[in-house]
Amino acid sequence: MLIDAHVALGPWPFAPLPERTAPQLVAHLKSHGINRALVSHLGAIFLPEPMPANRALFAAVCRTPALLPVPVLNPALANWREHLAACLAAAQIRAVKIIPAYHNYSLRLPALAPFVAAINAAGLRLIVATRLEDERHRYHALAVKGLPVAQVAAFLARFSATHMVCSGLYKPEIETLAVTHENFSADIAFAEWLNTLAVLTQKIPARRLLLGTNAPLFETRAQVDKLRLARLPARTLALIGSGNATRLFGL
């Protein structure tokens, strides 16, 4: 039983990746032992406002209970409250995702104060996507950089009462943030080193790590094996593989 906290549907314009339907994605994940997944739509990254992609997401997963929709919102847009209300009305959601770097705002954005308050009031978990890809060799015309870890740290300090999920952090970034901040969990999609999880759990409690494959951008088997073959107690693997997601997203 695994839960994937970092999966996407939809087209990725910069590589010939598989564009799966929701049932195909369920079958794909199941073939790797993943029973449930939190899914966003890649279209929300690039469209001028994310709702068309969110609506496509809701429509795609409405008959696949294994896929839990995570809409992407943009608090830099004037009508984010309207978008949040539309998402809450459209589907049973457990979390919303923000992608500041791709949506051209920083985590210092003043609107994030009412936004985080509204997310908390709605009983949702906030997922902060800090990066989506390796910037060294991606599409040449994209200038978007991953969120600086100092900016993430300031954000965590500013909203210290909110426990959020940071997605896309590198291993050293998780370790750095874990020293001073307890109000975040992280998926492991971008965390890698020899014996990743054994090393990482020395720096951050296992109850704050989540399986995330970053499919379809990353190879699912590779990401699952990072967890499956880690030399850790079964209880720890179960926490990272599903227990923490169950707790954090109220599944």
Partner 1 sequence: MRIIDAHTHPVFMHDGATPAAARRLVAHGRAHGIVKMVALGDVLVHGRLPSAAQCRRINDETAQLMRWHPDYFLGFCCLNPTLGARAVEREVERCVTQHGFRGIKLEISNNARDACMGAVMAAARRWNLIVLQHTWSQTNIHQRRFHSDPADTAWLARRYPDVTVIMAHLTGCGYRGVLEAKSLPNLFVDTSGAFPEAEILDFAVQELGAERILYGSDLPIRETSVTVGRVLGARLSAAQRRQILHDNAAKLFRL
Q: Which of 6, 20, 36, 226 binds partner 1 (CB under 8 A)?
A: 226
Compute the least distance from the CB of residue 228 to partner 1, in Å. Answer: 7
Q: Does 220 bind partner 1 (CB under 8 A)?
A: yes
Taking every pair of C-alpha atoms in the chain, what is the biggest distance, in angstroms?
Answer: 48
Q: Does 8 bind partner 1 (CB under 8 A)?
A: no
Three-state secondary-structure class, residue 16? coil
Contacts of 135 (CB under 8 A, 6+ apart): 144, 145, 146
Q: Does 19 bind partner 1 (CB under 8 A)?
A: no
Q: Does 7 bind partner 1 (CB under 8 A)?
A: no
Q: Does 195 bind partner 1 (CB under 8 A)?
A: yes
Compute the least distance from the CB of residue 180 to partner 1, in Å. Answer: 25
Q: Does 201 bind partner 1 (CB under 8 A)?
A: no
Q: Which of 212, 216, 241, 243 binds partner 1 (CB under 8 A)?
A: 216
Distances 30 to 71, 213, 224, 239 between C-alpha atoms, Å: 22, 13, 11, 19
Nearer to partner 1, 7 or 91 (CB): 7
Do residues 74 and 103 lie in contact, with contact meaning Cβ atoms separated by under 8 Å?
yes
Closest alpha carbon to 132 in 193, 197, 48, 189: 189
Q: Which of 1, 11, 13, 15 binds partner 1 (CB under 8 A)?
A: 15
Residue 146 in tokens: 């991953």
Q: Does 241 bind partner 1 (CB under 8 A)?
A: no
- The angle formed by the CA atoms of residues 3, 182 and 4, to the nearest 5 degrees, is 10
**How far apart are alpha carbons 107 and 90 in whole angstroms?**
27
**How far apart are alpha carbons 249 and 243 in whole angstroms?**
10
Q: Does 225 bind partner 1 (CB under 8 A)?
A: yes
Q: Does 192 bind partner 1 (CB under 8 A)?
A: yes
Q: Does 196 bind partner 1 (CB under 8 A)?
A: yes
- Burial of residue 53 (CB within 10 Å: 0-12, 13-18, 19+) is buried
Nearer to partner 1, 172 or 250 (CB): 172
Q: Choose the stretch contacting partner 1; rule: CB under 8 A; options: 12-20, 64-72, 96-104, 109-117.
A: 12-20
Q: Which of residues 87-146 bind partner 1 (CB under 8 A)?
A: 134-138, 140
Residue 12 in tokens: 């990725």
Q: Which residues of the chain form contacts with partner 1 (CB under 8 A)?
A: 15-18, 134-138, 140, 190, 192-196, 214-226, 228-230
